[in-house]
Structure 1
Amino acid sequence: MRSTDEVLDGVDLSGRTALVTGATSGLGAETARALAAAGATVVLAARDFDAAVDRARRIRDAHPEADLDVIHLDLTDLDSVRAAAGALAVRRSGLDLLINNAGLMYPPLTRTAQGLEIQFATNHLGHFLLTTELLPLLVDTATRTGIPARVVTLSSDAHRAYPIDLEDPQFVERPYDKFIAYAQSKAANVLMTVELQRLIADAPVGAYAVHPGICVTGLARFMSRDDFDRMRQLTVRNPGRLAKPKSLEQAAATSVWAATATELDRHRGAYLADCAIGRAGSHATDPDTASELWDLSTRLISAR
């Protein structure tokens, strides 16, 4: 399995700007580091601003020439997302790469201040709003530079376990199940990519969904022993997957490959895994479902 530095070996990202959400730790931190090491200007976006400043310092310690910026972004607060997108448009002359990396997995039932189930809000709706707000900047930058921009959204093969329930995505009528909630949010990541690519088919922007693979990060902080047992049941078709997790550098490799590999210009809208083109579950690639989710998401952000 390739690492981030192996994927970016010989790649020069000088003059390009990337925004990485959830950049304080885990895959986001490694993605930000790798892109900065390859010469990109990287904006670290995170809910914990001080932690993002500290992560930027650590990256500079390892790569003194790194060009980094930090911005506050709370994906569970749609007003924060709008403010971050507006600030980025003012502070930056362009944006080439949007890496929708931040995520939340298996928390107890929690609702945001705007009444949204927190996994759906963090993993999908906040990134949906961020993407739609920044899309004009991405298109403008790509048009000006002549280099296609990219939107990379981290999904997970966990999306295969359960489809999204468009009638009750917030678990208002049905009992809350954190595994179902996580799976549907990851299916939403793929569906958003499918519909986004359809809508921007004529624009110089490529959208990609990424399965990073199993990796030990803070994402599992809410998991109990029973949760791990249930995860094993859900991955029974892939025995040993949980026993052989990827390193951080290997898990983030597909994200940076999605952001930079020129051969992907011919495969816009693809689902990627292990630095290769994969295939998502049929319920996550159905064009009608993708369109319906886009409409639902638009209504949800408009109402809040």
Structure 2
Amino acid sequence: MSRYTSAHINPEGPGDARPTALQIVTDNNIADKLNGKVAVVTGCSAGLGIEVVRALAVTGITLYLTARDIVKAKNTLTDKVNVSKIHFVKMDQTSLQSVREAANTILSKTHTVNILINNAGIMAIPELQLTKDGFEVQFATNHLSHFLFFGLLKPALLAATTPEFQSRVVILSAAAHRIQGLNPSGDYFFKNTQYDPWRAYAQSKCANIYMANEIERRFGARGLHATSLHPGIIVTGLSKFVSPEIRDSMLQDQALLKTFKNPEQGAATTIYAAIDKDWEGRGGKYLVNCTEAVRGPDDGYRASDTYVSHTYCPELEAQLWRDSLELVGLEETTY
């Protein structure tokens, strides 16, 4: 439980008493207190990324923001934040080469990164699509690109950590990870399994959690920590592929509608994981509603705030790590 638990007990819909990202910053009393530190955020041209940036900008931290469309990102953010400490970096997360180029651009300008927020994502692509690297597009965008990006930025994250402010990696997952875990090793791209848009999304979101858990296991003792999270149900461009049937079903569920958040509230758990004192010096947990998630039933329900039996699995987390190293072309010795 956290100090925000009570605000989430009886939600009343977007704009209710649940905290916003800016409130998390205020409650931690860090406005203008992270000057000299560096944060990297992926997916900053729309959706939750905008609100994450708005909140982080208040802290005085220097920001490196990635987006596929830099012009769109700049136009979206210029009237919302002071851009004097913002660097925009082009990155197409369907291309490993683009990820490498983006990481190299950032490392050419800074040797330290205090916070990495893997925010970018896509959801429920209707038909099986492969990237030019041969990867299923949701697994590539949501997991493998972020895995490679972290691997390239890891030295800067380790270089930045101090006893007073240990480095953090925050990875956006989703409640939809509850639908299923990973496909068998070797079938992440649905070569031997019938493609389903929600199962592919669930797999990629489970991979996000496993990546965070394994980062904590491997690097926590060195002052580099990671958490994963479900931001809540927020109407953003991420939902553009949701079928009319699913959308209508959700809109008819009055209890579910009350749990919806606006983007400012949807970014709160991300900021909580990134800067809140509750997570100084620790990680390896899946968060919801600005607190650690509790165990729920293995019911496959895509909108629950609880975790399921496959949310934590050290054996599969380690297997996915090894497989991901091979897929993105990183050596185990660098880890």
Same topology, TM > 0.5? yes
Alignment-derived partner of residue 64 in structure 2 = 43
Q: Tell me what 1:7 maps to.
A: 24
For residue 69 of structure 1, what is the amino acid of its counterpart? H
What is the one-letter code of the residue matched to 2:80? I
Q: Deviations over 1:77-120 (max 9, x none)?
A: 00111111111111124211100000100112211111111110
The letter of the residue matching 2:182 is I
Name the SS for the 2:57 alignment partner.
Answer: helix
Residue 19 of structure 1 corresponds to which residue in structure 2? 40
Rounded Cα–Cα distance in structure 2 between residues aligned with 1:113 and 1:209? 28
2:104 paired residue number: 86
For the residues of structure 2 that align with 1:82 and 1:230, how far apart are their CA atoms?
A: 41
The one-letter code sitting in structure 1 at the alignment partner of 2:21 is T
2:161 counterpart SS class: helix
Identity %: 38
In structure 1, give the amino acid aligned to 2:311.
A
Match of 2:324 in 1: 297
SS of residue matched to 2:220:
coil
Aligned-pair distance for 1:15?
1.9
- Name the residue aligned to 1:166: 184
- What amino acid sits opposite 1:27 in the alignment? L
Tell me, in whole angstroms, the C-alpha distance in 1 between the residues paired with 2:172 and 2:238. 13
Structure 2 residue 209 is the aligned partner of structure 1 residue 197: no
CA distance in 2, matches of 1:132, 1:58: 33
Amino acid at match of 1:288: E
TM-score of the two chains, using structure 1 as the length reference: 0.91
Structure 1 runs (4+) deviating above 4 angstroms are: 229-232
Residues 51-77 of structure 1 show CA distances to partners (whole Å, capped at 9, x for unaligned) of 1222342233xxx47521100111110
- CA 1:262–1:66: 2 relative to 1, 3 Å: farther
Q: Distance in 1 between matches of 2:255 and 2:23?
A: 25
Q: Which of 265, 271, 278 is the equivalent residue of 2:286?
A: 271
Q: Indicate which of 256, 274, 294 corresponds to 1:241.
A: 256
Rounded to whole Å, the distance in 2 between the matches of 1:106 and 1:22 is: 17
Indicate the residue corresponding to 1:209 in structure 2.
228
Tell me what 2:52 maps to.
Answer: 31
- Name which of 142, 146, 166 aligns with 1:127: 146
Q: Name stretches of at least 5 consecutive residues in structure 1 with no aligned partner.
A: none
Report deviation, 1:263: 2.0
Q: Is 1:285 the counterpart of 2:324 in the alignment?
A: no
Q: Please give the per-residue CA displacement for 1:141-172, whole angstroms capped at 9, x wherever unaligned.
A: 115x8521100000011111111113311011
Change (3 A) 1:254 1:67: same
Amino acid at match of 1:221: K
What letter is aligned with 2:202?
A
Is the alpha carbon distance of 1:132 and 1:230 closer, same or farther for their aligned partners in structure 2, counting shifts above 3 Å? Answer: farther
Query: Separation in 2 of the partners of 1:229 and 1:180?
Result: 20
Unaligned runs of 5+ in 2: 1-17, 295-306, 331-335
Are positions 1:117 and 2:132 aligned together?
A: no
Q: How far apart are 1:243 and its partner, in Å?
A: 5.1
SS at match of 1:152: strand
